[in-house]
């Protein structure tokens, strides 16, 4: 293929796309706004699905290396009510078809698999427009520019590429997350770790929840979930982290102190993460030389566990279409038709699961979900 390919965003989807293309002798350049791979932490564990994420890793030739990074035994789940009463306790499944892996380790595996200089760090896309010859001019925030025949937006929820394809924008779901963490020290902390069990604790009720995962080294990472309007989010002051966390903990009045301690004793900088989603079933008309993958194409809540898996699968699927079809537009059309279908199904499940977790029937609805999984 004698076309220049620009991938905007070095998330899991963009990295997988570049890796599979390179494995077939096709060059691509990734433009990433962050200064380096270590600019920010990459979140917690991901369960990699057999039918999507694992397919992508096989296509990338990285499946065996992925297996060496799997965290066995960390898929256990415990559901409790507001008093800490255990309602469901699912042990880990050593034969799980959805093994857990640290997101940062998986991302680094993909980064290391690419040829040197594939990723241009510190290149935050400021604008992209179609040129007179049908190619695209990309301008970056630090002032540099480049031109590409094909542009793939892998740049997440607030994609700068998406507006060239559709006016659709993410909409607030009504649920926001606040990240929490506990370090691995102290007798009191060990009591909290014990409350989690061997995997993930889900303390949920209508409109709210505290979800925490215990790691082998004793750390606890998780988040508070609250169904609140955007105005409420603006009222929380995390300028003083302890005061902000106290305000969040006040939303759990009457809950077990063992549960609210995950909030009040959190020793990480609290980050507010509103959950946004693109419209379910979003499609767009074909625009020559341009497409989207991952959250840029089908942002959804994390409650189907599909986001990262679909992003990687999108990347691998798009790469295979570009490899197999000489006509670029035929390749992009085939990719989008398949992507629209699978992402619509996943987004629908995700929205339903968000309601199951924090809707009026929680926590019994969550127990029923796991009983039938």
DSSP 152-168: EE---TT-SSGGGT---
CATH number of residue 341's parent domain: 3.50.50.60
Token readout for 135 is 């190619």
**Cα 186 from chain centroid (whole Å):** 32
Residues 221 and 162 in one domain: no
CATH number for the domain harbouring residue 202: 3.30.9.30
- Looking at 229, 249, 276, the residue that finishes a domain is 276
H/E element, 126: strand 125-130
pLDDT average, residue stretch 173-200: 80
> How many Cα atoms sit within 13 Å of 132 on the Cβ side?
0
Shared domain check, 141 and 286: yes
Tokens of 32: 């990433």
Report the DSSP pairing between strands 220-227 and 171-182. antiparallel
Last residue of a domain, one of 254, 276, 298: 276
- Model confidence pLDDT, tens digit, residues 202-231: 999 999 999 998 877 777 889 999 999 988
Query: Encoding tokens for residue 134?
Result: 């049908």
Split at pLDDT 50, 70, 90, the class of 186 is: low
Domain stops at, among 250, 276, 302: 276
In angstroms, how far is CA 202 from the centroid of its own chain? 19
- Binning pLDDT at 50, 70 and 90, where does residue 42 land? low
Confirm whether 145 is domain-assigned: yes
**Cα–Cα distance measured from residue 151 to residue 165, given in angstroms and rounded to the nearest whole number:** 12
Is residue 1 within 8 A of residue 322, CB to CB? The reply is yes
pTM over 0.85, yes/no? yes
Q: Which residues of 346-364 are buried (b: 16+ CB within 10 A; e: fewer)?
A: bbebbbebbbbbbbeebbe
User: Is residue 92 in a domain?
Assistant: no
CB 197 within 8 A of CB 188: no
CA dist 74 and 19 (Å) reads 28
What's the rounded Cα separation, in Å, for the pair 156 and 297?
A: 8
Least Cα distance to 191 among 182, 200, 199 occurs for 182
Does residue 121 share a domain with residue 160?
Answer: yes
Say if residue 118 is in the same domain as residue 210. Answer: no
Pick left, alpha or beta for residue 169 (phi over 0 → left; psi -120 to 50 → alpha; otherwise beta): beta
- Same domain membership, residue 263 and residue 194: yes
DSSP-derived 3-state class of residue 30: strand
Name the phi and psi angles at 134, rounded to 5: 90, -5
Contact in structure between 195 and 201 (CB atoms under 8 Å): yes
In a domain, 351, yes or no: yes
Taking the C-alpha atoms of residue 366 and residue 303, their distance in angstroms, rounded to an integer, is 11
Could you write out the DSSP letters of every residue in 232-300?
Answer: HHHH---SSHHHHHHHHHHTTTTS-HHHHHHHHT--S---EEEEEEPPTT------TTEEE-THHHH--
Omega prior to 146 cis, within 30 of 0? no
Is 85 a domain residue?
no
pLDDT tens, position by position, 329-371: 999 999 999 999 999 999 999 999 999 999 999 999 999 998 8
Question: Do 228 and 244 share a domain, yes or no?
Answer: yes
Same domain as 344, residue 297: yes
Mean pLDDT of 168-183: 93
Domain count, the chain: 2
Eight-class DSSP state of 143: S
Verify that 177 and 242 share a domain, yes or no. Answer: yes
Q: Give the residue numbers spanning the domain of 231.
A: 172-276
Q: Are residues 165 and 18 in the same domain?
A: yes
Per-residue model confidence (pLDDT) at position 371: 83
Confidence of residue 124 (pLDDT cuts 50, 70, 90): very high
For CA atoms 20, 22, 28, 30, the dihedral sign is positive
* Distance from C-alpha of 204 to C-alpha of 59, rounded to nearest angstrom: 38
Is residue 260 assigned to a domain?
yes
Q: Is 78 inside a domain boundary?
A: no
What are the residues facing 89 on neighbouring strands?
A: 78
Total number of residues shown for the chain? 373
Give the mean pLDDT of the chain: 92
Model confidence over 281-314: pLDDT tens digits?
999 999 999 999 999 999 999 888 899 999 999 9
Three-class SS of residue 222? strand
Q: Are residues 183 and 292 in the same domain?
A: no
The verdict on 237 and 282 lying in the same domain is no
348 lies in some domain: yes
Task: Band the pLDDT of 241: cuts 50, 70, 90.
Answer: confident
User: Quick one: 107 and 213 in the same domain?
Assistant: no
303 part of a folded domain: yes
């Amino acid at each position: 293929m004698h076309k220049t390919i620009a991938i905007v965003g070095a998330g899991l989807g963009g990295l997988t796309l570049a890796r599979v293309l390179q494995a077939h002798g096709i060059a691509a350049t990734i433009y990433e706004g962050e200064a380096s791979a270590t600019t920010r932490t990459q979140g917690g564990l991901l369960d990699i699905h057999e039918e999507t994420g694992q397919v992508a890793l096989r296509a990338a030739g990285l499946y065996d290396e992925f297996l060496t990074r799997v965290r066995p035994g960390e898929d256990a789940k415990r559901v409790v009510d507001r008093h800490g009463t255990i309602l469901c306790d699912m042990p880990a499944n050593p034969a799980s078809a959805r093994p857990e892996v640290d997101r940062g380790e998986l991302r680094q595996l993909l980064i290391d698999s690419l040829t040197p200089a594939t990723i241009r760090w510190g290149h935050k896309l400021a604008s992209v427009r179609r040129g007179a010859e049908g190619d695209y001019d990309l301008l970056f925030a630090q002032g540099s520019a480049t031109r590409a025949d094909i542009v793939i937006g892998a740049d997440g929820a607030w994609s700068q590429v998406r507006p060239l394809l559709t006016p659709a924008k993410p909409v607030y779901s009504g649920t926001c997350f606040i990240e929490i963490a506990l370090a691995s020290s102290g007798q009191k902390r060990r009591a909290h770790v014990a409350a989690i069990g061997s995997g993930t604790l889900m303390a949920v009720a209508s409109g709210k929840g505290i979800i925490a995962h215990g790691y082998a080294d004793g750390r606890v990472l998780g988040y508070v979930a609250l169904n609140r309007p955007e105005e409420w989010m603006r009222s929380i002051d995390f300028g003083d982290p302890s005061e902000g966390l106290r305000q969040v903990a006040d939303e759990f009045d009457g809950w077990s102190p063992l549960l609210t301690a995950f909030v009040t004793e959190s020793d990480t900088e609290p980050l507010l993460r509103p959950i946004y989603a693109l419209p379910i079933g979003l499609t767009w008309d074909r625009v020559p030389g341009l497409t989207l993958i991952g959250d840029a194409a089908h942002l959804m809540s994390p409650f189907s566990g599909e986001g990262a898996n679909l992003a990687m699968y999108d990347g691998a699927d798009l790469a295979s279409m570009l490899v197999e079809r000489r006509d670029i537009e035929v390749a992009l059309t085939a990719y989008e038709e398949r992507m629209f279908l699978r992402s619509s199904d996943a987004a629908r499940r995700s929205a339903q699961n968000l309601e199951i977790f924090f809707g009026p029937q929680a926590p019994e609805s969550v127990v029923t979900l796991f009983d039938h999984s």
